[in-house]
Amino acid sequence: MSVTSANNSQAKRKEIYKYEAPWMVYAMNWSIRPDKRFRLALGSFVEEYNNKVQIVSLDEDNSEFVAKSTFDHPYPTTKVMWIPDTKGAFPDLLATSGDYLRVWQTSDTGTRLECLLNNNKNSDFCAPLTSFDWNEVDPNLIGTSSIDTTCTIWGLETGQAIGRTNPVSGHVRTQLIAHDKEVYDIAFSRGGGGRDMFASVGADGSVRMFDLRHLEHSTIIYEDPQHHSLLRLAWNKQDPNYLATFAIDSMEIVILDVRIPCTPVARLNNHRSGVNGIAWAPHSACHICTAGDDRQALIWDIQQMPRAIEDPILAYTAEGEINQVQWSTTQPDWIAICFNNFLEILRV
């Protein structure tokens, strides 16, 4: 990443912007709304029952991030995600997972909780949610993954009627036992219309694919040879045949082709320490960014697959172990990373 011009006197052309949060940052996500260009949500990682979510926005005139809103969140957010609403047609919503799935509405006056979704109605006990994904084709669908081996697909009602006191409510569309052990991540695929297909990964070391129209069976598309837990998965944004995953404490990212199950089509091997995050380019089928404990964010060009991909095409070294990476959907020349208390956005 062309970081040399960070000292460029034209502030507008800066290559890196940095924000220091008041706590360690774990979850992070870019806003997708067309009128909120450089806006991100950050979730704290504090071990007490006293966490925060903060919405920050880049003041492009002054070249610095400004905190717009901060609100309480009991446990650390395992994920935070803005509604995938590129047209700005829905309310300005943000979801977080932790003990429950929460949907928030944000405005210039602050952020308020719209609904708290708990699928265990007969108990106060809840199995923590490890992750979730918001369906891009139908923003009324959210899928959550949990340590209780299940995935739940929620139906949201986002009332457009002005003046309704609570414009958002939700119900369980379907809940299924997805894995034999904890489920760590879930992601909707753009394949088959982009609404009904999703995949999950978990502690049993498998990637499983589901279709909401035929939930009686799933397809195992990969199993880790050592049965190590798979931590994250991400679908290629342009070609739904490809997805990436990695195992816990692994330095290797595995690229899978759903048409050739169980055999990785590529392995990305340049990290020197555990990988923590993966993000596909929103605008290109052959670029992916990976980041990890070696403080490196690497961008790879995978168009040579199935020939071996030896080296990344770009590398950036941060000042700490990178625990999160997100590629901006609406501004594809910007990537965001988090390490320690810091958010950095990098021009690529």
**Region 327-344 average pLDDT:** 96
Residues 53, 58, 61: CA angle, nearest 5 degrees: 155
pTM, two decimal places? 0.91
Distance separating alpha carbons of residues 135 and 96, to the nearest angstrom: 14
Describe the strand order of the beta sheet including 342-347 as a list of residue ranges. Answer: 16-20, 342-347, 334-339, 322-327
| Largest Cα–Cα separation, the chain | 61
Asked whether residue 77 carries a pLDDT value surpassing 80, the answer given is yes
Residues 18, 21, 75: CA angle, nearest 5 degrees: 135
Per the document, the length of the chain is 348
| pLDDT in the model for residue 347 | 94
Burial bucket for residue 181 (CB in 10 Å: 0-12, 13-18, 19+): middle
User: Which residues are CB-neighbours of 110 under 8 A, at least 6 positions away?
Assistant: 69, 71
| pLDDT in the model for residue 9 | 40
DSSP assignment letter at 59 = E
Short-list 138, 35, 39, 38, CA closest to 84: 138
Distance separating alpha carbons of residues 57 and 106, to the nearest angstrom: 13
Domain boundaries, the chain: 22-281
Average pLDDT, the chain: 91
| pLDDT in the model for residue 122 | 61
Asked whether residue 164 carries a pLDDT value surpassing 80, the answer given is no
φ/ψ of residue 6, rounded to 5: -60, -25
**Region 249-254 average pLDDT:** 97
Pairing mode of beta strands 64-73, 129-134: unpaired
Asked whether residue 84 carries a pLDDT value surpassing 50, the answer given is yes
Asked whether residue 165 carries a pLDDT value surpassing 60, the answer given is no
Asked whether residue 120 carries a pLDDT value surpassing 90, the answer given is no
Distance separating alpha carbons of residues 33 and 39, to the nearest angstrom: 9
Helices within the chain (DSSP H only): none
Of residues 123 and 293, more confidence is placed in 293
pLDDT class for 88, splitting at 50, 70, 90? confident
**Region 292-298 average pLDDT:** 97
Tens digits of per-residue pLDDT, 179-235? 999 999 999 999 888 899 999 999 999 999 999 999 888 999 999 999 999 999 999
pLDDT class for 31, splitting at 50, 70, 90? very high
Segment 210-216 long-range contacts (CB within 8 Å, at least 24 positions apart): 210/151, 210/176, 210/178, 212/153, 212/173, 212/174, 215/174, 215/176
| pLDDT in the model for residue 139 | 93
| pLDDT in the model for residue 241 | 96
- Residue 266, token pair as written in the block: 């590529």
Burial bucket for residue 281 (CB in 10 Å: 0-12, 13-18, 19+): buried
Distance separating alpha carbons of residues 49 and 51, to the nearest angstrom: 6
Q: Which residue has the tokens 């082709």?
A: 257
| pLDDT in the model for residue 5 | 39
Asked whether residue 3 carries a pLDDT value surpassing 60, the answer given is no
Tens digits of per-residue pLDDT, 125-162? 678 999 999 999 999 999 999 999 999 999 998 765 44
- Classify domain 22-281 at the CATH topology level: Methylamine Dehydrogenase; Chain H (2.130.10)
